[in-house]
Amino acid sequence: MKLNNKGITTVEVLICFVLIVIITTSIYLTVSNFNEKKVLEGYREKIINYKNIVTKTIQDDLIKVGLTHARIERTTEDEKRITTVYFDLKDGTKRELVVEELQAVSTRHSGGSLEHDDYYMIKYGKPGDVIEMDLPDVGHSGYNGIDGGICDVDLPARDPDCREIKDFSINNVLVSITDDNVISIYIGFYHPDFGTRYAINIVCPIDYASNGYDSTSEWKEEGI
């Protein structure tokens, strides 16, 4: 019997190599996509938890205790936009809600600050003892407001023109009191992967009579 001693040809080796590369690349992309989805899901949970905690903290006072009066004040301090809402509650105590926004210049905020990094903060509590509720850290990047390039804000000594841009930001604050004494509080958030999907949205009546009688009308339940 005659044996075939040709061995493996160069073409066969090349085909095996290409197949290995294809399989390895496919596995890498699958793992990479899975890890990216896992990271984004972690970000999403942080954002939802933050939104729910802040909303519940405020609503527990305004809805459960009751609101008798509210006043809105909007100011600007060193490029920072500040919205403050003062609350008087039915138990005689007071609360303050403070929303601070400072947008650094970037591709998203062309009119932002050249001197400051992104800064967003929500504060709530008793006057003189408000609690800072930092927005969750779910990513950031660097942007040079002078030449428009990408920069590294994590360097020990970064470029002085490099501004830190937060992935998760406050992009809309709407607070109003209607003629029929209802306060509406909307704090909208933005994240490049989730858009404007999440927001704090609170609607609460002011000086509402819970016994069925509305003091602003002539209607009254029989027997009250």
Asked if the structure places residue 164 within a domain, the reply is yes
Q: Is the residue at 42 inside a domain? A: yes
221, two tokens: 């339940």
The answer as to whether 213 is a domain residue is no
Percent helix / strand / coil, the chain, rounded to 5: 25, 40, 35
Mean pLDDT of 136-143: 94
In a domain, residue 100? The reply is yes
Q: Does 106 reside within a domain?
A: yes
Flag whether 133 is in a domain: yes
Tokens of 217: 């009308």
Confidence of residue 216 (pLDDT cuts 50, 70, 90): very low
Phi, psi of 111 (to 5 degrees): -100, 20
* Among candidate residues 148, 152, 118, 150, the one with its CA nearest the CA of residue 135: 118
**What's the number of domains the chain is made of?**
1
Q: Output the pLDDT for position 11.
A: 75
Pairwise pLDDT comparison (3 vs 155), residue with the higher score: 155
Q: How far apart are CA 49 and CA 37, in angstroms?
A: 18
pTM confidence score = 0.78
Who's near 55: CB < 8 A, 6+ residues apart?
200, 201, 202
201's tokens:
């949205």
pLDDT band with cut points at 50, 70 and 90 for residue 94: very high
Long-range contacts of 149-154 (CB under 8 A, 24+ apart): 153/117
User: Among 2-6, 17-21, 28-32, 165-169, where is mean pLDDT lowest?
Assistant: 2-6
Residue 104 pLDDT greater than 80, yes or no? yes
* Residue range(s) defining the domain that contains residue 77: 30-205
In a domain, residue 7? The reply is no
SS3 state at 109: coil
Residue pair 127/87 in contact (Cβ under 8 Å)? The answer is no
| Residue 216 maps to a domain | no
Residue 30 confidence (pLDDT) above 90: no
